[in-house]
Amino acid sequence: MTLYKAIDVERALVAFLQEDPDLAALHGGRVSTEVPKDAILPRLRISRVGGIPDTDGWIDRPRIAIEAWANSKAEAWELASTSLAVLQARLPAAPLAEGVVTDVRPDTGLAWAPDESTELARYTFAVSITAHPNQ
């Protein structure tokens, strides 16, 4: 049985979302898997929150949570809604260093979720992705 190394989907999505020209104009390159304590906004946070690979490991179906943080509700909405559109329209055709994404499906709609401790503006959503390594 051939062993396949799973794609680091979080790292691949951070790089993809940092480089997208429509999104870069909104987040200024601030895309990561963590939000620093004194974060500059707006920004995106990417987190793998579930999903499982097929039994041979070739196909992975991660569930990804995306948080759009901003200085206002309207700015957070714009970043979240544009991010979802970019993921659905461009990620399946994007060249990734580690592998190939063949499908992106919304798993939850955009939800207003201001941070409870800081009251910063934030919209969240999740997508399910189908991916496999290049080799």
DSSP letter at 9 equals H
Collect all residues with Cβ–Cβ distance below 8 Å to 130 and sequence separation of at least 6.
59, 60, 61, 101, 102, 103
Q: Looking at residue 96, what is its pLDDT?
A: 86
Mean pLDDT along residues 47-71: 93
DSSP letter at 3 equals -
Q: Looking at residue 118, what is its pLDDT?
A: 87
pLDDT digits (tens, 9 = 90+) for 78-118: 999 999 999 999 999 888 888 899 999 999 999 999 999 88
pLDDT digits (tens, 9 = 90+) for 3-57: 777 789 999 999 999 999 999 999 999 999 999 888 899 999 999 999 988 878 8
pLDDT digits (tens, 9 = 90+) for 115-135: 998 889 999 999 999 999 887
Q: Looking at residue 1, what is its pLDDT?
A: 64
